[in-house]
Structure 1
Amino acid sequence: MHTEHGDAADRTVGEVDLTRWRSRAGRSVAGAWTALGKRFGAMPVLLLTLAVGLGVAVLATWIASEVYDAVREADDVAVLDRPVLDWALTLRSPTADTLVTWWTDIAGTIGMPIVALGFLVGFTIQRRAWTPLVLLVAASGGSLLMTIAGKDLIGRARPPLSDAVPPYETSPSFPSGHTLNSTVIVGTIVYLLLLRQSRVVTRVWTIVVGTLFVLSVGASRVFLGHHWLTDVLAAWALGLAWLALVITAHRLYLTALHHGAEPAPDVDRITS
């Protein structure tokens, strides 16, 4: 058995052992998944958990669309959206518009993959394992699927172009893709960083920086008039839900690994 696997050091965050489950339900699921891991290997169990989690996440997206429709029919959405956008209009200036556009592009379809790829290369080299690749690809793929599903299910119009800063966007507004994807991808990166950080202050700063980035991306979407506030709020909620499922899947993988399941081949074995 490959006892010194690249994932072996990922069991704890500080003093918290991720392979210990406090709730009875958690212990039951972990026990079942460990049994599957011993039979089929830890990595197939991780992939199965992510697939199940993705189904749950898509279902959550559908539920969010139903809730949004109910709220929209009651005209409760406008109570938040229009006043916040009007306030954002008062904050604009040519310099602010340029800076915020540059910042929001970091979380766009070009910027976010570059950020994810950079961290992914670093994680793979550091850990000598493929788990970071699996987690980041699953996390980003799931968030993209949730974004597409939400936009197709609801088809909400964006704020008027007269209230937006160019370049304009024409896809449906709900949920905010920039916000949802940055929440999930940056959240996964933060989680992977925390697994190898021994100092409390380093972990705190990692969480603070990641949180501020995600919050600022969401705020930038409203500031630029590319999304309504409720698009961003829903994206944060959906992103955090999917992130929690990804982390839970990884914890189940670590638990199965800790209790003797066969790990996936590490980087050295694949590339040698």
Structure 2
Amino acid sequence: MHSTSSGAVVRAERFALRSATGLAELALFGVGFGLLLVLVRTHWPPLQRLDGAVTDRLNSAVAGNDVVVNALNAVTALGGTAMLAWLVTVGTAWLLIRRQPLLAVYAVVTALGALALNSVVKELVERLRPVVNAPVAAAPGLSFPSGHAMGSLVSYGVLLLIFLPVLPRAGRRPAIAVVALVVAAIGFTRMALGVHYLTDVVAGWLLGLVWLVITTVAFRRWGLSAPHRGPALSEGLAPEAAAALEPASRTHAHVLPHPWRGVAELLTAWVALLGLLFGVGRLVTAGTPDRPALDWDRDLTQWVVEHRGPLLDTVSGIAGRFGSTHWVLTAALVIGPLWLALTRDWRPVLFLVVVMAGEITLFLAASSAVGRARPDVVQLTPDLPPTSSFPSGHVAAACALYTAAALLVVTGTRRWWRWLAAAAAVVVIVAVAAARVYYGVHHPTDVLGSLVLALSWVAVCWWVVKPHGDDPGVEPDVKAAPEGR
């Protein structure tokens, strides 16, 4: 009895110490942000001079250097709306699939609250963006505080706190350091690109820390039945959920049982398929512009162009987006993590990665080798990539991704709705193919070549990787995830 009471006292003392530390941190971050807010709002001259000097110096250093500017834009995109929305959305879906609703609520409330808080403070302060001598970037809206700085700190911080218990102890400090480095780099790029002042970025970090501390304390109080037993945040937000949040089951020891043999088989099939595409490409490009090898190919494209109309323009514009690079990449980055969350197996994700990597490399190699000119018709899209017409990259990417995803669904579950996934994949692929011909940017044989590329490569990857292992048709392993408290 005495040892039990002593243990309770020790836990209570630790909780009190952590609470006091949390309050001190909250007060420190809050006072720092409040001081910056007042100084910026009152236009304190020394601070304005500091902001201007930092902005001018950085702008002078990067202006005129396209390589540096492109690198800064790539890093700043890590804190952009698209990236943060993907992180929070996929992370929340993962938590719901793994039956951790409280953690999902915490992630959504914290992320959306940060967005609302940042927008309100911007309107209250009404600070304009910096004006530099040689602009290298532009950003809409007001300047104080930086939305990229605040959003990246909150979003990456939330996911770090949630998934930290999954990492081994030796990897937790490096993970924290990496997240801190990414957030710091994003803030630096906002200044270097000339779209934020130094105080905008620092204020974004401070306000983000204040909000993150508030929501974390609230979750710990609401989500745990006994707050005084809550572990330190260095252990993560909810260490008891570590088993549910692990990406894959420990029983799946080998992602690919014979990796070297698999790589050899994939490379052999890749080269053979490239040769096939090159041979077909040479056949369809034979002849002259006046007398092409395939009259029907040219005539069919011309007929489609002559029957364009406003309604078909709109429909084809919507359909074509499903094959765009951004859409396909986004879909792959959603399908892969969520399928991993459902099955707790890395092999389906490896299958998707190999499919998409092989498709893009086959497309680029075949396109460069064949060098077919695009149809000699009026084209509806002016922003064509600098690749040739055969094969169609949009159709190949859409066919590869949606076919692979449909195969995973159809063979991974016995539920009736699996056939809806297969039907949806077929409809989308056909729609993208029709849209590319309708736009006048591809011949029908370009589309057929893309279908041969994608379907053949998906079949090879399925045979080599075996996404479901030796036991196809197994239901997703979501029942193994324990409930969160």
Say whether residues 1:110 and 2:323 are aligned partners: no
Matches within 5 A, 1:216-255: 216-251=431-466, 254-255=469-470
**Could you tell me which residue of structure 2 aligns to residue 204 of structure 1?**
419
How many residues get paired? 222
List gaps (5 residues or longer) in structure 2. Answer: 1-247, 473-480
Distance in structure 2 (CA, Å) of the matches to 1:73 and 1:183: 27
Aligned pair partner of 1:135 in 351, 360, 364: 351
SS state at 1:195 partner: helix
Relative to structure 1, is the Cα distance of residues 252 and 85 closer, same or farther in structure 2, using a 3 angstrom cutoff?
A: closer
Query: What are the superposed Cα offsets for residues 64-105 of structure 1, whole Å, 9 maximum, x if unpaired?
Result: 212331354366743231121122113312342233123212
Query: What are the superposed Cα offsets for residues 148-204 of structure 1, whole Å, 9 maximum, x if unpaired?
Result: 0111110111112x42112341421110011111111111111111133213x4233
Matches within 5 A, 1:1-272: 41=254, 43-45=256-258, 48-50=261-263, 52-73=265-286, 77-160=293-376, 162-169=377-384, 170-199=386-415, 201-251=416-466, 254-255=469-470
Relative to structure 1, is the Cα distance of residues 252 and 93 closer, same or farther in structure 2, using a 3 angstrom cutoff?
A: closer
Distance in structure 1 (CA, Å) of the matches to 2:414 and 2:249: 17
Relative to structure 1, is the Cα distance of residues 71 and 109 closer, same or farther in structure 2, using a 3 angstrom cutoff?
A: closer
Relative to structure 1, is the Cα distance of residues 89 and 105 closer, same or farther in structure 2, using a 3 angstrom cutoff?
A: same
1:54–1:242: 8 Å Cα contact kept in structure 2? no
Kindly state the Cα deviation for residue 58 of structure 1 after the two structures are TM-superposed: 3.3
2:319–2:428: 8 Å Cα contact kept in structure 1? no
Distance in structure 1 (CA, Å) of the matches to 2:298 and 2:306: 13
Relative to structure 1, is the Cα distance of residues 172 and 134 closer, same or farther in structure 2, using a 3 angstrom cutoff?
A: same
Relative to structure 1, is the Cα distance of residues 203 and 156 closer, same or farther in structure 2, using a 3 angstrom cutoff?
A: same
Relative to structure 1, is the Cα distance of residues 232 and 71 closer, same or farther in structure 2, using a 3 angstrom cutoff?
A: closer
Larger radius of gyration: 2
Kindly state the Cα deviation for residue 6 of structure 1 after the two structures are TM-superposed: 5.1
Relative to structure 1, is the Cα distance of residues 63 and 195 closer, same or farther in structure 2, using a 3 angstrom cutoff?
A: closer
Relative to structure 1, is the Cα distance of residues 50 and 100 closer, same or farther in structure 2, using a 3 angstrom cutoff?
A: farther
Structure 1's consecutive aligned runs of 4 or more residues displaced over 4 angstroms after TM superposition are 5-9, 74-77
What is the letter of the counterpart of residue 90 of structure 1?
E
SS state at 1:116 partner: helix
Distance in structure 2 (CA, Å) of the matches to 1:114 and 1:171: 22
Aligned-residue identity in percent: 23
Distance in structure 1 (CA, Å) of the matches to 2:278 and 2:362: 11
Distance in structure 2 (CA, Å) of the matches to 1:155 and 1:125: 42
List gaps (5 residues or longer) in structure 1. Answer: 10-39, 259-267
Q: 211-220 or 84-93, which moves further after superposition?
A: 84-93
State TM-score, norm by structure 2.
Answer: 0.42
Kindly state the Cα deviation for residue 61 of structure 1 after the two structures are TM-superposed: 2.0
Distance in structure 2 (CA, Å) of the matches to 1:253 and 1:93: 45
What is the letter of the counterpart of residue 117 of structure 1?
L
Cα RMSD for the two superposed structures: 2.9
Query: What are the superposed Cα offsets for residues 205-264 of structure 1, whole Å, 9 maximum, x if unpaired?
Result: 222211121111111110111111100001101111001011112338723x89xxxxxx
State TM-score, norm by structure 1.
Answer: 0.72
Relative to structure 1, is the Cα distance of residues 102 and 65 closer, same or farther in structure 2, using a 3 angstrom cutoff?
A: same
1:7–1:127: 8 Å Cα contact kept in structure 2? no
SS state at 1:73 partner: coil
1:177–1:235: 8 Å Cα contact kept in structure 2? yes
Relative to structure 1, is the Cα distance of residues 218 and 46 closer, same or farther in structure 2, using a 3 angstrom cutoff?
A: farther
Relative to structure 1, is the Cα distance of residues 173 and 72 closer, same or farther in structure 2, using a 3 angstrom cutoff?
A: closer
**Could you tell me which residue of structure 1 aligns to residue 121 of structure 2?**
none
SS state at 2:325 partner: coil
Query: What are the superposed Cα offsets for residues 99-130 of structure 1, whole Å, 9 maximum, x if unpaired?
Result: 31232122111010111111112101111122
What is the letter of the counterpart of residue 214 of structure 1?
I
Distance in structure 1 (CA, Å) of the matches to 2:276 and 2:411: 32
What is the letter of the counterpart of residue 158 of structure 1?
R
1:158–1:227: 8 Å Cα contact kept in structure 2? yes
1:45–1:253: 8 Å Cα contact kept in structure 2? no
Distance in structure 2 (CA, Å) of the matches to 1:55 and 1:154: 20
Distance in structure 2 (CA, Å) of the matches to 1:62 and 1:254: 30
Relative to structure 1, is the Cα distance of residues 225 and 50 closer, same or farther in structure 2, using a 3 angstrom cutoff?
A: farther
